Amino acid sequence: MMKGRACAGGKGPPLKPKSNSRRPPRNLAFSQQLGEAMLLRWVLLLLLISAGPARAALSEAEMARLLPDGYSLGEKDKDVPAWPLIKAGMVAGYIFETGSLTPIPGFSGTPMNLSVAMDDTGRLLDVRIVSQHEPVFVDGLGPQPFADFLTQYRGLTIRQNIKIGSQYGASDRAGSTSVTLDGVAKATASLRIANLSILGAATKVAQVKMAAIAPKPKSLPRADAGAVMDWAALVEKGFVRHLRLSNAQVEAAYKGTVFAGLDPEGEPDPDGTFIHLWVAYLNSPGIGRSLLGDAQHAHLMARLQPGEEALLVMSSGRYSYTGPDFVPATVPDRLSVRQAGFPVNIRDMVHDYTLPAGVPAADEVRLFRIDGSAAFDPASPWTLSLRVIREKGVIRPEQGIQDFPLDYALPPDLFTRPLVEEPTPEWLLAWGSRLPELSVLGLMLLGLTAGLIAQTRLSRRERLFYWMRMGFLAVTLGFVGIYAQGQLSIVTVQGLVKGAARGMDFGFLLYDPISLLLWAYVAVASIIWGRGTFCGWLCPFGALQEIADALGRLLRLRQMRVPGWLDGRLVLLKYGVLAVLLVTALIAPTEAETVAEVEPFKTAITLTFLRDLPFVIYAGFWLLLGTVMFKPFCRYVCPLGAFLALAGRLRVLDWIPRRTACGSPCQLCTARCRYKAIRRDGSIRYDECFQCLDCVGIYADEGRCVPLVVATKHGAGAAARIGGKRNGHAA
């Protein structure tokens, strides 16, 4: 075997002698380490710099331009940062900025600022963008989809449970009274933060200026209030409320209108019964058990989700409270519930319960559900309204509508009221809506961890391992990147820098559970193995670049090779890019997302190239270049890779096994490493290692590793002269 050849049975390109015109590799490695160490100290210093003063609130003139039609602006309130809305000389609501009341950081680390106009009943009149720096709405989709989304708040109230729909299946479950707004693809997490900002700010204003309509804690039925009563006792105590309408009463409601006299069936019998209507609240054990029996009541309570309420509505007479077109399990058109002037939606529960003896016979018996997220307090009075509809005309009939109320109230001693009842956090809803994706990602990470622990055995069979790796990268690209939107980005790091400058507010990370789980895993993996776990296995754009490389080799495209001396300098470029991005986040935070477009991740992965042409050309350039040069963006430009390489300095393991023959005389791993992460002396540059495990497979393969080949052919003595096992080298 000749010294100076890549050792694989004499195969491989000859090594060129060192030229005096080039700096020795060890000096180059030293300069790289020195430069990276100085940059790390500089970056840490930047994190301590203040980001400067926040933007002042809108002036009176600026706020006046955001007023809804028909309102004028009053003098700014002294109790809360809000401006009164004046209509007909009276305060009719308030307009305010979310940035002054709920400055929740977005994914850029900068809170979005929205103007919210709300009337004095808690109804939202308008929501508009004042400023926002969400990456997907800056240069991605643009701000228009965000502005269009905000128009959906008009007419909603702060008493409603407003949720964001998404492509991940977040929608109202059966029986819910929540309002689900149409989301924007690729931007669900940002919209959740916006929703939390809007409702949080509106609730703060309502609590100070409109306490009567602010959401209140919900009362809970007392479990010990469970005495069973007969029907007469239930009616006497008011636990069952009754409404009887005669034909004459209904006719009187239409007197003086064009709909009078349109009841030929009831006109001959004015004292006859139009409808007998009964209603009862079933969650209270005594009432529920009295009307359904112990077994059926227990079954009903088991069907209800936490916080849900059940009502029994029964009737007799000639009028149906559901109507001929009623569809089971839906919201009835002829019944409605209101409390404190606000609507409370009810939905039919399909059931097969039977009423016990002693309950009057009824023509219609149904159970209705009130969702647990509704602003409904069973201990406070509420009203069930029966809607009676008459029609006049044939082709385009006019409708005459009359509502007949039935008031319902229960004694307060049947309930307990919790001191504080916090709504489900928006970030927790985000995690709940993405449990399927989180489960798949969790299994994927467990499998990757197991594979990395058993990497020597796993990578020994070269061809099988290659296809396993390409399959994993395909899942990373398709599932983690495109479907689950889990492409990590330097934008998050910029957000952390801004958050640190403002006081360590990192709550925005909770609204993107997929990315947060990946960040947590990458943080641990970086300490154990270094940057390569993410860059080599979990980065969707990195996977796309590797697939582009495989395509280029399949098409037999001529590959561009970067000389070692130039590669050693190009890899430092990404640290400069990282420094520029972090400095921008500190001194010009509003421009941070624009500068972060140096990453093509948003274009290629988040938006799947559905973007303006310059961005598509830029991302396409890196992919085309990747077909003739191995992963150029990842190795030379990626600021996120630079950040992870610096974080990888905390690595505790030199996990790549080495022998004394590695580098002298054997150069096989050095020649085979396409990342150029192995020096000629055999030591590992972990900052540039992408954990492809090629050298680990060579080390364990008796058909590829030179000392093992020599030992097989010439015996242990020859192998000993070549070199035995040694520890890995830290970069």
Q: What is the DSSP string of 558-604?
A: PPP---HHHHHHHTTHHHHHHHHHHHHHHH-GGGHHHHGGGS-HIII
Does residue 36 have a pLDDT over 90? no
Structure tokens at 345: 């939606």
What single-letter amino acid sits at 516? L
Q: Where are the alpha helices (DSSP H) in 132-172?
A: 135, 144-150
Q: Enumerate the β-bridge partners of residue 94.
A: 84, 118
Query: CB–CB of 607/141 below 8 Å?
Result: yes
Structure tokens at 437: 């994706």
SS3 432: helix
| Segment 377-395 mean pLDDT | 89
Which of 6-10, 74-78, 556-560 has the lowest average pLDDT? 6-10
Residue 437 sits at φ, ψ, to 5 deg, of -65, -40
Residues 687-715: tens digit of each pLDDT: 889 999 988 888 888 888 887 888 777 76
pLDDT of residue 407: 96
Q: What is the DSSP string of 679-716?
A: -TTS-B-GGG-----HHHHHHH-TTT-HHHHHHHHH-H
Residues 670-691: tens digit of each pLDDT: 888 888 888 888 888 888 899 9
Q: What percent of the chain has pLDDT over 70?
A: 83
Spell out the SS3 assignment of 167-205: CCCCCCCCCCCCEEECCCCCCHHHHHHHHHHHHHHHHHH
213 pLDDT tier (thresholds 50, 70, 90)? low
| Segment 580-607 mean pLDDT | 87
Structure tokens at 232: 């007469």
pLDDT of residue 607: 83
17 pLDDT tier (thresholds 50, 70, 90)? very low
Does residue 427 have a pLDDT over 60? yes
Q: Report which of 718, 727, 729 is spatially closest to residue 659, judged by C-alpha positions.
A: 727
Q: Please tell me the distance from the alpha carbon of residue 679 to that of residue 662, in angstroms, as a whole number.
A: 10
Q: Please tell me the distance from the alpha carbon of residue 134 to that of residue 396, in angstroms, as a whole number.
A: 49
**What element of type H or E holds 40?**
helix 25-46
| Segment 392-398 mean pLDDT | 82
Q: Please tell me the distance from the alpha carbon of residue 669 to that of residue 681, in angstroms, as a whole number.
A: 11
pLDDT of residue 419: 54
Which single residue is written with the structure tokens 């390109």? 13
Q: Please tell me the distance from the alpha carbon of residue 599 to that of residue 438, in angstroms, as a whole number.
A: 25
Query: CB–CB of 149/184 below 8 Å?
Result: yes
| Segment 627-647 mean pLDDT | 93
Does residue 63 have a pLDDT over 90? no
* More reliable by pLDDT, 135 or 513: 513
Which of 197-206, 423-432, 712-721 has the lowest average pLDDT? 712-721
pLDDT of residue 373: 56
Q: Is the dihedral of CA 486, 139, 635, 653 positive or negative?
A: negative
| Segment 644-661 mean pLDDT | 84
| Segment 42-63 mean pLDDT | 55
Kindly list the distances between the CA atom of residue 587 and the CA atoms of 51, 100, 137, 413, in Å, as whole numbers in the listed order.
6, 22, 21, 60
Kindly list the distances between the CA atom of residue 550 and the CA atoms of 376, 545, 589, 629, in Å, as whole numbers in the listed order.
60, 9, 39, 11
Mean pLDDT of the chain: 82
Quote the radius of gyration of the chain (alpha carbons, Å).
Answer: 35
Q: Where are the alpha helices (DSSP H) in 105-143?
A: 135
52 pLDDT tier (thresholds 50, 70, 90)? very low
215 pLDDT tier (thresholds 50, 70, 90)? low
Does residue 188 have a pLDDT over 60? yes
Burial 676-695 (b: 16+ CB within 10 A, else e): bbbbbebbbbbbbbbbbbbb
How do strand 658-659 and strand 240-246 relate by DSSP bridges?
Answer: unpaired
pLDDT of residue 504: 52
Does residue 122 have a pLDDT over 90? no
Does residue 237 have a pLDDT over 60? yes
Highest mean pLDDT (candidates 59-68, 210-219, 404-413, 649-658): 404-413
pLDDT of residue 177: 40
Does residue 108 have a pLDDT over 60? yes
* More reliable by pLDDT, 665 or 218: 665
Q: Please tell me the distance from the alpha carbon of residue 633 to that of residue 536, in angstroms, as a whole number.
A: 13
pLDDT of residue 507: 67
Which single residue is written with the structure tokens 């610096």? 646
**Residue 194: partners with Cβ closer than 8 Å, 6 or more residues away:** 112, 114, 146, 149, 150
Write down the domain spans for the chain. Answer: 60-213, 220-415, 471-653, 658-683+691-731
Q: Please tell me the distance from the alpha carbon of residue 550 to that of residue 630, in angstroms, as a whole number.
A: 9
Q: Please tell me the distance from the alpha carbon of residue 719 to that of residue 605, in angstroms, as a whole number.
A: 49
Residues 367-380: tens digit of each pLDDT: 999 877 566 889 98
* More reliable by pLDDT, 158 or 295: 295
- pTM surpassing 0.75? no
Spell out the SS3 assignment of 359-383: CCCCCEEEEEEECCCCCCCCCCCEE
247 pLDDT tier (thresholds 50, 70, 90)? very high
SS3 97: strand
Q: Please tell me the distance from the alpha carbon of residue 229 to that of residue 241, in angstroms, as a whole number.
A: 15
pLDDT of residue 445: 95
* More reliable by pLDDT, 255 or 330: 255
Does residue 573 have a pLDDT over 70? yes
* More reliable by pLDDT, 671 or 44: 671
pLDDT of residue 214: 58
What single-letter amino acid sits at 98? T
Does residue 3 have a pLDDT over 50? no
Q: Please tell me the distance from the alpha carbon of residue 416 to that of residue 222, in angstroms, as a whole number.
A: 6
pLDDT of residue 338: 86
Residue 435 sits at φ, ψ, to 5 deg, of -60, -40
Does residue 420 have a pLDDT over 90? no
Does residue 342 have a pLDDT over 70? no
Does residue 435 have a pLDDT over 80? yes
Cis ω for the linkage preceding 665 (within 30 of 0): yes
